[in-house]
């Protein structure tokens, strides 16, 4: 399933008011506290979808191939969902064209995948055939160094995740949790109506709209705003946004609204945001995505007693600083991994017949839009 599924500006399988073409970016993978976290398994898996799984080595033209396909779709007025690489956001890992029910995905590690039903709803695209024999001792060295950098980065992210989840005793009471849930219920009643009658069958999807990469922490704020006209920005210094978002998701599901759950890249069991494309309303953690002019600001931190919050202020600052420092250290190692991966690609590039690859890409595009 895709953020954009079906035709004519349909999100999450639900038709919206269409006046424009929608080209949305997202992430399906995350460098998390538990290592690489993948959501690729549910990509391009709606009824009638066909997924092409691309196989090739580093520097083999996978990202460039998909960018050309995505650009061709956009030029022809089609909606697209482009999946950016969490390791290198300048690279593309997948693209989906809902009008054609067609997707392409980089099916190599760390998000390796195979056809579900070969030739029925998926197949291979072998771009590796455009690469000739490579006799370069740097291949093994760069691959080993690249993987070692990731291993170290994940060690720091594991520490950052543990720190982020460290509870401050006495900060959040059971009474505060109930207040947060009631605040979400009130917003649901206002935005989604009563819960007595189901609107339709809910389609719940999971995406990352933020990543921890070689370029630091990046958030796709513009893409969130493409999907939602009204955005509620939630205070999250004390960790209450996750409670609010999960309650709001339950309220949306009860009413049958399709939703996009935006997971935290560091701790994927927590939510960064909840996007409801049909009513075009989103609920976003202020600590995750910077929305300059939100529709409403929900001051969740104010639900904690002032005295309690003041007592915890120092501990909150120290915890936030520690998470930033550990994540920052991980980013440095991810950047080093990117350097080795770039070297690896440069070692392969001279052996790739890019002219033949370009000609093949032209053929694919011509068949797609014939």
Please tell me whether residues 255 and 269 are part of one structural domain. Answer: yes
Q: What is the pLDDT of residue 198?
A: 65
Please tell me whether residues 207 and 322 are part of one structural domain. Answer: no
pLDDT digits (tens, 9 = 90+) for 236-265: 999 999 999 999 999 999 999 999 999 999
Please tell me whether residues 215 and 245 are part of one structural domain. Answer: yes
pLDDT digits (tens, 9 = 90+) for 104-117: 999 999 999 999 99
> Can you give the three-state secondary structure of 65-91, one letter per residue?
HHHHHHHHHHHCCCCEEEEECCCCCCC
The model scores a pTM over 0.75: yes
The number of distinct structural domains making up the chain is 3
Please tell me whether residues 185 and 157 are part of one structural domain. Answer: no
- Does a structural domain hold residue 4? no
Please tell me whether residues 108 and 147 are part of one structural domain. Answer: no
| Mean of pLDDT over the chain | 92
DSSP string of 323-336, one letter each residue: HHHHHHHHHHHHHH
**pLDDT of 7 above 70:** no
Q: What is the pLDDT of residue 1?
A: 58
Please tell me whether residues 128 and 142 are part of one structural domain. Answer: no
Please tell me whether residues 200 and 217 are part of one structural domain. Answer: yes
pLDDT digits (tens, 9 = 90+) for 28-49: 999 999 999 999 998 999 899 9
Q: Side-chain half-sphere of 218: how many Cα atoms within 13 Å?
A: 21
- Does a structural domain hold residue 44? yes
- Does a structural domain hold residue 181? yes
Q: What is the pLDDT of residue 184?
A: 98
**Chain mean position to CA 240:** 21
- Does a structural domain hold residue 21? yes
If 0-12 CB within 10 Å is exposed, 13-18 middle and 19+ buried, where does residue 276 land?
A: buried
- Does a structural domain hold residue 256? yes
Please tell me whether residues 107 and 145 are part of one structural domain. Answer: no
CA distance 95 to 89: 14
Task: Report the pLDDT averaged over residues 302-328.
Answer: 97
**pLDDT of 201 above 70:** no
- Does a structural domain hold residue 362? yes
User: Percent of the chain scored above 70 by pLDDT?
Assistant: 92
Please tell me whether residues 205 and 279 are part of one structural domain. Answer: yes
Q: What is the pLDDT of residue 200?
A: 61
Task: Report the pLDDT averaged over residues 47-58.
Answer: 96
Which residues constitute the domain of residue 113? 10-132+353-368
Please tell me whether residues 103 and 223 are part of one structural domain. Answer: no
Q: What is the pLDDT of residue 264?
A: 98
Please tell me whether residues 73 and 157 are part of one structural domain. Answer: no
CA distance 209 to 259: 14
Q: What is the pLDDT of residue 19?
A: 36
- Does a structural domain hold residue 1? no
Please tell me whether residues 253 and 328 are part of one structural domain. Answer: no
- Does a structural domain hold residue 5? no
């Amino acid at each position: 399933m895709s953020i954009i599924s079906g035709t004519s500006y349909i999100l999450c399988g639900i038709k919206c008011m269409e006046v424009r073409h929608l080209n949305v970016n997202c992430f399906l993978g995350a460098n998390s506290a538990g290592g690489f976290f993948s959501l690729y398994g549910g990509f391009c898996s709606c009824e009638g979808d066909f997924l092409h799984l691309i196989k090739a080595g580093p520097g083999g033209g996978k990202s460039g191939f998909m960018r050309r396909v995505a650009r061709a779709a956009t030029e022809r007025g089609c909606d697209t969902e482009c999946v950016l690489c969490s390791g290198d956001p300048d690279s593309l890992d997948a693209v989906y064209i809902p009008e054609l029910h067609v997707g392409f995905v980089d099916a190599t590690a760390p998000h390796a995948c195979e056809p579900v039903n070969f030739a029925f709803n998926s197949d291979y695209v072998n771009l590796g055939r455009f690469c000739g024999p490579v006799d370069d001792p740097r291949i093994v060295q760069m691959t080993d160094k690249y993987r070692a950098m990731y291993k170290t980065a994940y060690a720091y992210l594991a520490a950052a995740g543990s720190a982020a989840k460290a509870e401050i005793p006495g900060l959040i009471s059971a009474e505060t949790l109930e207040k947060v849930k009631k605040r979400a219920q009130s917003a649901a009643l206002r935005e989604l109506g009563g819960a007595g009658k189901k609107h339709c069958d809910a389609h719940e999807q999971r995406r990352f709209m933020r990543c921890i990469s070689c370029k630091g922490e990046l958030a796709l704020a513009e893409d969130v705003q493409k999907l939602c006209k009204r955005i509620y920005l939630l205070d999250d210094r004390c960790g209450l946004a996750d409670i609010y978002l999960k309650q709001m998701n339950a309220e949306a599901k009860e009413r049958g609204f399709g939703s996009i759950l935006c997971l935290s890249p560091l701790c994927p069991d927590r939510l960064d945001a909840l996007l409801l494309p049909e009513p075009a309303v989103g609920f976003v953690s202020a600590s995750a995505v910077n929305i300059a002019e939100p529709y409403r600001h929900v001051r969740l931190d104010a639900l904690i007693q002032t005295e309690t919050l003041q007592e915890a202020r120092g501990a909150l600052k120290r915890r936030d600083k520690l998470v930033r420092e550990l994540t920052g250290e991980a980013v440095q190692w991810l950047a080093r991994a990117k350097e080795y991966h770039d070297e690896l690609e440069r070692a392969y590039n001279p052996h790739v017949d890019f002219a033949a690859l370009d000609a093949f890409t032209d053929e694919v595009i011509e068949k797609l839009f014939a």
